[in-house]
Every structure is written in structure tokens, then in C-alpha cells.
Amino acid sequence: QVELVESGGGSMQAGGSLRLSCAAASRDIADSYCLGWFRQAPGKEREGVAALSPHVGSTYYADSVKGRFTISQDAAKNTVDLQMNSLIPEDTGMYYCAASWNSGANCESSTRYTLWGQGTQVTVSS
């Protein structure tokens, strides 16, 4: 059974950096059609943060994280990573990685994904 496991969350002061990693077991991430990171803050709806289409090579970023976050794929480790720089308190939330091996586009939509990780908490203090 394919699983996604996130790691790298934690607490950080504003202005700092964190790197999240999502490892896939039993399936090659390079063969996926969509890889994404989503987050959910307390009392708020889940929102897309960044997405990557390995087949097309395109990326998507939410306006709130453009220029600060970078999504990337590590084929050797079979992971999809999210480098988060210049963190702000509004980045606080539970971060989830997601993947889809079904063909198609629109990787920024959560409905596109068929497999989700359990989440990793990111807390940014001012």
C-alpha cells in the first residue's frame, strides 16, 4: 500500500526557514502526475500552498508564499520537499503532502489528489 509520510515540521521564529519532506513508500514519485503541499490553520479551510507536475515540469504557488517557498522533487530519495524561507506567523498550520498517479492537470486543486499524508505541524511565532 502506498503511503506518504511528512517530516520536518516544527517551531520557528518569524524570518526563519524550515524544510518539509514527504516520502512515498511503494511507489515512484517521479511517475506521479501531481505532487502538492497543502496547509490548514485552526478554524480555517485547507488551502493549497504549492504543487508540482513531474510529467510537465510545471509548478504552482499560492500568492501568499510566492518568492518564499519552493517545491521540489528528489528522485534519489523519492521525496517531494517544500523549502520555506522568510516564515511569517500566518504560515502556521498543519501541512499535508498529497500525490496523484492519475493522469490530468490542475495540480493546484485538492480534489485532484488521491493520496494524502498524515500532516506535520508548522508553528511560526512573531
Per-residue pLDDT at 100: 94
In this structure, what C-alpha cell is assigned to residue 41?
Answer: 490553520
Measured distance CA(21)–CA(78) in Å, rounded: 10
Per-residue pLDDT at 58: 92
Among candidates 23, 35, 6, 9, which has minimal Cα distance to 76?
23
Mind listing the pLDDT tens digit for each residue in 37-49? 999 998 999 999 9
Per-residue pLDDT at 7: 95
Residue whose cell numbers read 523519492:
78
Average pLDDT for 61-70: 98
Average pLDDT for 86-90: 97
2: pLDDT strictly greater than 80: no
